[in-house]
Amino acid sequence: MPTRPYLFYALTNSLCSQCLIKVEAKIIFQDGGVYLVKHCPTHGREAVLIADDIDYYRMTQAFIKPGDMPLRFNTPIKYGCPYDCGLCPDHEQHSCLTLIELTDRCNLTCPICYADSGVDERESTRQPRRHRSLAVIEQMLDAVVANEGEPQVVQLSGGEPTLHPDFFAVMDLVKARPIKHLMINTNGLRLAQDRAFCDRLSQYMPGIEVYLQFDSFEEHALRELRGADLRAVREQAIAHLNEFNLSTTLVVTLKKGLNDHEIGKIIDFALQQRCVRGVTFQPIQVAGRLESFEPTRDRYTLTEVRRAILEQSPHFQPQDILPVPCHPDSLAMAYALKLQGKVIPLTGLFDVPTFVDLVPNSVLYEQHPELKERIFELFSTSHSPVSATASLKQLLCCLPLVPVPSSFTYENIFRIMIVQFLDAYNFDVRSVKRSCIHIVHPDGRIIPFDTYNLFYREGSAGYDMVTQMQQKPASV
Ligand code: SF4
Ligand code: SF4
């Protein structure tokens, strides 16, 4: 009797990548990879690689823990996930990080912009590109506070947020609210060109961080991703950020075969910069304006990024890059310490086999509830490096053999993060319910980043479909 050439691991719901209807999907293991296998009545069978490391994929499931609920939900359950965003009461995680888009305008026109932002009024979608008014931004901030109480991380985004004519008034609005940490998601042009802007921004420290686009050292990769040679811009922006020691995360958007060979070099560069506290790697989400992108060739998965980090950076071992419990199959993280000129992964401070056993093993967690809580606390994305300093100090104090350096500060933290957003290819309804990176809609809904760019951003591929669905009465 013949045997199936794969292992059937689980059943879920996904989306047809062509028409975005919800379809049943098998998760199978085959030839070392994890695949979503879907069937659309109209477009037929589709198999999508979602991980190239079966052991790691299995391990992510052991990191799942009960989610934290927001203080309120924003939409009712009517049409089923993902057509009820949100947050609807069926969502399983609060907002670890919430984006507020200040503007649709940008001083770049990147060929890969998920927000379809740009210089011009609008080429491809309906509404003119506008800055949001201060009144609307204030309502959006209030929506996050109403959901979260004391939001852990808010990110000002766009478009290019530093172009907003009232940017510093927005900063004041943020500072007037109980928001613990603020990130500014920027392409760096203004930071490079306007030293006085950086000086003024630095006066809002602590509790702010620049989330700086930093994809490549190579001209052709920058032209393909950003439509411009930004090498000099990046250099000048980093010089200003170092001058004011403005905490910075480098954000690398990855396209398979284009800039994935630079991962180790970017980590090394980051470690040498006074201002840089970490690097975030994000494979391209298939959404928005995506030119010169062939999904079957160019999609890149979290486990491939993790593998590339391990191959290209001598600083990290497999046990150092772990799933983040709030959304383990989409987020991975490594914390390291920069101490006396050396890079020490957090896990390097422990007996590594014990640590690796401890993290995924729920029985041991029960035996060490305090340590478990502190590890979960540390690995939550809502922990910016500032709060992580405190968590690390507490964690290290748990283990008597680990000395806590007396001069240990925020500047000693170095965080590597891998963020893989879901799109119509890798969409898994079990996973999207755990999404903890959200965007505030101008009408006050709080929507997972993943579904916002597929269904809820005006002009997105599924916008008309969901809008029409929501205009009809729900079937009983
Ligand atoms: S993604 Fe979350 S908020 Fe959106 S419909 Fe699904 S459960 Fe509800
Ligand atoms: S990706 Fe960022 S920098 Fe590029 S056009 Fe979009 S908003 Fe601007």
- 386-432 confidence digits (pLDDT tens): 666 666 656 555 544 445 555 666 677 788 999 999 999 999 999 99
Please tell me if the CB atom of residue 85 comes closer than 6 angstroms to any atom of ligand 1: yes
Using the Cα atoms of residue 237, residue 238, residue 241 and residue 244 in order, give the sign of their dihedral: negative
What number is the average pLDDT over the span 444-458?
A: 95
Give, for ligand 2, the residue of 100, 101, 106 to mutate: max count of ligand atoms closer than 8 Å to Cβ.
106
Q: Is 466 in the pocket of ligand 1 (CB under 6 A)?
A: no
Residues 248, 414 contacting (CB under 8 angstroms)? no
Task: Please tell me the predicted confidence (pLDDT) of residue 194.
Answer: 97
pLDDT value of residue 249? 94
Choose the residue to mutate in 90, 438, 450 for probing ligand 1, maximizing ligand atoms within 8 Å of C-beta. 90
Please report the pLDDT score of residue 320 as a whole number: 87
Quote the pLDDT of residue 289: 87
Mean pLDDT, rounded, of the chain: 87
> For helices 54-61 and 302-312, what crossing angle results, to 10°?
120
Residue nearest to ligand 1 atom 4, measured at CA: 85
290 Cα to the center of ligand 2, angstroms: 12
Report residue 292's pLDDT band, with 50, 70 and 90 as the boundaries.
Answer: confident
Cα-based angle 376, 338, 206 (whole degrees, multiple of 5) = 70
Q: What is the pLDDT of residue 383?
A: 61
**For position 376, what pLDDT does the model report?**
54
With bands split at pLDDT 50, 70 and 90, how would you rate the model's confidence at 353? very low
Determine the pLDDT at residue 352.
41
- Out of 100, 101, 108, 223, give the residue to mutate to test ligand 2, the one with the largest number of ligand atoms within 8 Å of its CB: 108
Residue 90 beta carbon below 6 angstroms from any ligand 1 atom: yes
Whether 364 shows a pLDDT value over 60: the answer reads no
Q: How far is Cα 403 from Cα 311, in angstroms, rounded to an integer?
A: 30
At residue 393, the pLDDT reads 59
Protein residue with its CA nearest to atom 1 in ligand 2 = 113
pLDDT > 90: percent of the chain: 65
Lowest-pLDDT choice from 297-301, 382-386, 410-414: 382-386
Ligand 2 centroid–CA 111 distance in Å is 9
Considering every ligand atom shown, identify the ligand nearest to the alpha carbon of residue 469 and give its number: 1
Q: How far is CA 257 from the centre of its chain?
A: 21
pLDDT at res. 252: 98
Look up residue 86 and give its DSSP letter.
B
User: Rounded mean pLDDT of 53-72?
Assistant: 89
Please tell me the residue having the least CA distance from ligand 2 atom 6: 113
Higher pLDDT: 396 or 82? It is: 82
Closest ligand 2 atom, CA of 158?
7
- Cβ(212) – ligand 2 distance below 6 Å: no
Ligand 2 atom, smallest distance to 227 CA: 4
Query: Atom 8 of ligand 1 has which residue's CA nearest to it?
Result: 88
What's the CA angle centered on 142, arms 136 and 144, to 5 degrees?
Answer: 110
Q: Is the pLDDT of residue 122 over 70?
A: no
Find the range with the poorest average confidence among 31-35, 120-124, 240-244, 351-355: 351-355
Q: pTM here?
A: 0.90
pLDDT digits (tens, 9 = 90+) for 150-159: 998 899 998 9
Condensed to tens digits (0 to 9), the pLDDT of residues 265-280 reads 999 999 999 999 899 9
What's the average model confidence in pLDDT over 212-224? 97
CA of 231 from ligand 2 middle (Å) equals 16
Alpha carbon of 66 to ligand 2 centroid (Å): 35
Judged by its nearest atom, the ligand closest to the C-alpha of residue 95 is: 1
| Torsions phi, psi for 14 (to 5 deg) | -135, -160
Atom 2 of ligand 1, nearest CA residue: 91
Counting from 1 in the atom list of ligand 2, the atom nearest the Cα of 109 is 5
Amino acid 120: pLDDT: 67
For CA atoms 253, 255, 258, 263, give the dihedral sign: positive
Q: Whose CA is nearest to atom 3 of ligand 2?
A: 187
Mutate to test the pocket of ligand 2, among 104, 107, 117 (most ligand atoms within 8 A of CB): 117
- Tell whether ligand 2 has an atom less than 6 A from the beta carbon of residue 423: no
Higher pLDDT, 148 or 352: 148
Sequence-distant (6+) residues with CB within 8 A of 350 are 399, 402
Read off the pLDDT of each residue in 183-202 and give the average, rounded to a whole number. Answer: 97
Residues of the chain above pLDDT 70, percent: 84
Ligand 1 atom closest to the CA of 80, numbered from 1: 5
| Per-residue model confidence (pLDDT) at position 68 | 87
* pLDDT score recorded for residue 375: 57
- For position 363, what pLDDT does the model report? 27
Kindly state the average pLDDT of the residues 89-104. 94
Cα(160) to centroid(ligand 2), Å: 7
